[in-house]
Amino acid sequence: METKTVITEFSLCKTEELNTTYQTLVSRAQEQTAKAYAPYSNFHVGAAVLLENGEIVAASNQENSAYPSGLCAERVAMMYANAQYPDVAPVAIAIAAYTQGSFLANPITPCGACRQVLLESEMRYEKDITVLLYGTDHVYLIDNIRKLLPLCFEKSSLGR
């Protein structure tokens, strides 16, 4: 038997250390938490996608009384961006979460289903999507979605 190790690398930084484009993206994600529809979890998530033409598409989580029918903020934002701008590559996504009166100190990281959806967009446009996960203590900066989903299933896995 052989054991292999997968190492994922990311950076921790303060919001002020980000460039102005990324600071704006993070603010848009923060603002978007106020528009979440989260009556069941009270966990308000905002996501903002930066497109390569400079436009920002932002969205929030949308819950449902049939719980699994709800959708995470990053999936709503990315799918809306891809649907609305099919010819424009997404280049970054910021995510922020707000609950019980404040933003979380530590960033939340996307769920597995969202990672898979975000990966599809990265593969579709053949362009890295930088991930900015906001927390009041620090921001996680990740170079691309692939780093969030090692050993992934993707188009090439279908053997086509």
List of residues contacting ligand THU (CB under 6 A) = 38, 41, 43, 45, 61, 63, 70, 72-74, 108, 110-111, 114
Q: Distance (Å, rounded) from C-alpha 135 to C-alpha 105?
A: 5
Question: Min. distance of Cβ 58 from ligand THU in angstroms?
Answer: 13
Question: Min. distance of Cβ 44 from ligand THU in angstroms?
Answer: 8
Instruction: Give me the catalytic one of 74, 120, 126, 154.
Output: 74
| Secondary structure element (H or E) that encloses residue 27, with its range | helix 20-32
Question: Min. distance of Cβ 100 from ligand THU in angstroms?
Answer: 13
* 51-72 exposure pattern, b = at least 16 Cβ within 10 A, e = fewer: beeeebbbbbbbbeeeeeebbb
Which tokens go with 155?
């188009």
Q: Is 74 a catalytic residue?
A: yes
Residue 51 vs 96, nearer CB to ligand THU: 96
Residue 74 vs 122, nearer CB to ligand THU: 74
Task: Answer whether 103's CB lies under 8 Å from 97's CB.
Answer: yes
Residue 79 vs 108, nearer CB to ligand THU: 108
Residues known to be catalytic: 74
